[in-house]
């Protein structure tokens, strides 16, 4: 039975051509072996909110809609 595991050596990252900053792995068990496939992460969508109303201390009392950047 397969359980959780981790790559024990950082050298495997470069040996296998995996870039964990831009890829993630999905593992499955097939024919008694663990098979891990790496795919690219989706591009992040940056969003920001703006404050519509502040009190005299600078605390936000009402947040506006998210802005896509």
24 strand-pairing partners: 39
Q: Residues of 11-30 as b/e, b for ≥16 C-beta within 10 angstroms?
A: eeeeeeebeeeeeeeeeeee
Using CA atoms, how far apart are residues 25 and 18, in angstroms rounded to an integer? 9
Q: State the pLDDT at residue 2.
A: 46
Q: State the pLDDT at residue 20.
A: 79
Give yes or no for a contact between 39 and 18, defined as CB atoms under 8 angstroms apart.
no
Q: State the pLDDT at residue 5.
A: 52
The tens digit of pLDDT for each residue in 14-56 reads 777 888 788 888 888 888 888 888 888 888 776 777 888 999 9
Q: State the pLDDT at residue 16.
A: 77
């Amino acid at each position: 039975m397969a359980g959780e595991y981790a790559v024990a050596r950082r050298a495997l990252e470069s040996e296998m051509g995996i870039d964990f900053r831009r890829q993630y792995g999905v593992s499955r068990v097939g024919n008694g072996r663990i098979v891990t496939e790496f795919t690219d992460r989706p591009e992040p969508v940056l969003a920001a909110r703006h404050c519509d109303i502040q009190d005299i201390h600078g605390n936000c009392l009402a947040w506006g809609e998210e802005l896509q950047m």
